[in-house]
Amino acid sequence: MKAVIPAAGMGTRFLPMTKNSPKEMLPIIDKPAIQYVVEEAARSGIEDMVIVTGRGKEIIENHFDIAYELEHVLGSRNDREKLAEIRHIAEIADIFYVRQKIPLGLGHAIYMARKHVGDEPFAVLLGDDIIVSEEPCVKQLMRVHQRYGASVIAVQEVAREDVSKYGIVAFEEVDDHLFRIKDVVEKPDADEAPSRLAVMGRYIFSPEIFDCIARTKPGKNNEIQLADALNLLLEKEEVYGYAFTGTRYDLGDKFDWLRINIEMALQRDEFREKMRELLKKLQQ
């Protein structure tokens, strides 16, 4: 299975930081956000990935490339640990790139990868969504796909006040953590939402999604909305929602970016005690 990682968004929610630096490259302590996403796909057994970029995103390609000069310097210093870490980045997977030349929305960005994906089921991981879990979220979705042979969407219940930030699904419960999707409503008002079960940034799609995207008319902001394409897909085949196990961070949200940095620091031996001391001081 191949993976598509849309990373062409303009990151307007994180301005001014994203004026000249992609939001996908926001640091999580010492590693950019998109590297966590690529590593999740690799941990799920995916070796072939296509990242959909846009103007000004060349830094993403450079990050996953070989850095000859840096490797030479680290080698001359005999810094084997850092050298191994840098080489690992370029060896995570076979990564290909396609550019979304005009920002026409998430659905359109995924459509840009159709020639690379071909006529096969594929995974989609949003480049600014990080999901921390013992078993990779995409791997969880792959298990459901293997069982039912259908498209699968990662879902999670959100607070009522957050409903308007997400695509919300109407569903029929099938099993523990598993739902048959009936409808997807993009960012509804809380009073009009069919549920509080929200679509998160991980998907397994059948190739039929490309035809559905092609038939989707532009919506809000003249963008091709993935939710509209999903509803067309529902007319053709069953789509499941899976309530994954894990913690999801939206790197388009400034507080979530602060939160993941703090929580990740608390998990690392080199920072744990210092972070605990700092947090105690801040509470005084």
How far apart CA 250 and CA 235 sit, in angstroms, is 30
Neighbouring residues of 237: CB distance < 8 A, sequence distance ≥ 6: 150, 151, 206, 208
- Helix/strand/coil (H/E/C) assignment for every residue in the chain: CEEEEECCCCCHHHCCHHHCCCHHHCEECCEEHHHHHHHHHHHCCCCEEEEEECCCCHHHHHHCCCCHHHHHHHHHCCCHHHHHHHHHHHHCCEEEEEECCCCCCHHHHHHCCHHHHCCCCEEEECCCEEEECCCCHHHHHHHHHHHHCCEEEEEEECCHHHHHHCEEEEEEEEECCEEEEEEEEECCCCCCCCCCEEEEEEEEECCHHHHHHHCCCCCHHHCCCHHHHHHHHHCCCCEEEEECCCEEEECCCHHHHHHHHHHHHHHCCCCHHHHHHHHHHHHC
At 163-209, the pLDDT tens digits run 988 889 999 999 889 999 999 998 888 888 999 999 999 999 999 99
pLDDT in tens, 71-120: 999 999 999 999 999 999 999 999 999 999 988 999 999 999 999 999 99
Check pLDDT > 80 for residue 11: no
Task: Please name every residue paired with 151 in a beta bridge, in sequence order, or none if there are none.
Answer: 239
Smallest Cα–Cα separation from 240: which of 187, 190, 173, 188? Answer: 173
Instruction: Give residue 221's pLDDT band: very low, low, confident or very high (50, 70, 90).
Output: confident
Tell me the β-bridge partners of 178.
175, 242
pLDDT digits (tens, 9 = 90+) for 55-78: 888 999 999 999 989 999 999 999
- 181, HSE (Cβ side, Cα atoms, 13 Å): 30
Q: Domains in the chain, ordered, with CATH?
A: 2-252 (3.90.550.10), 254-284 (no CATH)
Q: Cα(11)–Cα(252) distance, rounded to whole angstroms? A: 7
- CB-CB neighbours of 39 under 10 Å: 16
Supply the mean pLDDT for the chain: 92
The C-alpha angle with vertex 33 and arms to 28 and 39, in degrees rounded to 5, equals: 110
pLDDT tens figures, 139-167:
999 999 999 999 999 999 999 988 988 88
Kindly report the pTM of this predicted structure: 0.93
